[in-house]
Amino acid sequence: MSDDRYTRLAHTSQLGPATLAGIRALLDGAFEGDFGEEDFEHALGGMHALVYEDGVLVAHGSVVQRRVLHQGRSLRTGYVEAVAVRADRRRRGIGGAVMAALEGVIARAYVLGALSASDEGAALYEGRGWKPHPGRIGVLGPAGPERLAAEEGSTYVWTPPGGVAPDGAGRLDFDWRDGDVL
């Protein structure tokens, strides 16, 4: 671990063009070019956790507000986006630092946390108490509710203290957005 590591927590509105470009470059590298403009758009408009080592950005994650319909309630949900650690800095606890900062935001501002985990990222989230939602996953699309069977098993939830734990048998319907819905 670097002696000069720190985490900055900031809203998108507090990030200048150079910082946003640095985040985008980090995400492009970490996702090996498989991170599109709509993916980046999904990561904006909320709080960002930025981890620096020796003044260099080495990790990022953000949490944005989404609405999730569950058993007749619209839950104010902190949705985690764009979690990435530079390849040469992985397996050093940096991803955990990003998640700790984002979970703090979720605990203070939302009744539920959610994210879509890749196979590579699932162990990080599970180790922090995130659980795959066992029920169905859907979206409130332009034509009405749609099931997203491909997201079942990879959509994780986390309930902060005092939050709302979704019923495992209940369906989670996320609000619509362009690109990959989850």
Q: Does 153 reside within a domain?
A: yes
Predicted local distance difference test score (pLDDT) of residue 134: 95
Which of the four pLDDT bands, split at 50, 70 and 90, describes residue 53? very high
Q: Does 181 reside within a domain?
A: no
pLDDT at residue 1 tops 60: no
User: Looking at this protein, which amino acid is placed at residue 140?
Assistant: L
Q: How many domains is the chain partitioned into structurally? A: 1
Model pLDDT for residues 110-132, shown as the tens digit of each residue: 999 999 999 888 999 999 999 99
Q: Does 81 reside within a domain?
A: yes
Predicted local distance difference test score (pLDDT) of residue 81: 97
Predicted local distance difference test score (pLDDT) of residue 77: 98
Q: Does 182 reside within a domain?
A: no
Please tell me the total number of residues recorded for the chain in this structure.
182
Range of the domain at 101: 5-175
CATH code for the domain of 146: 3.40.630.30
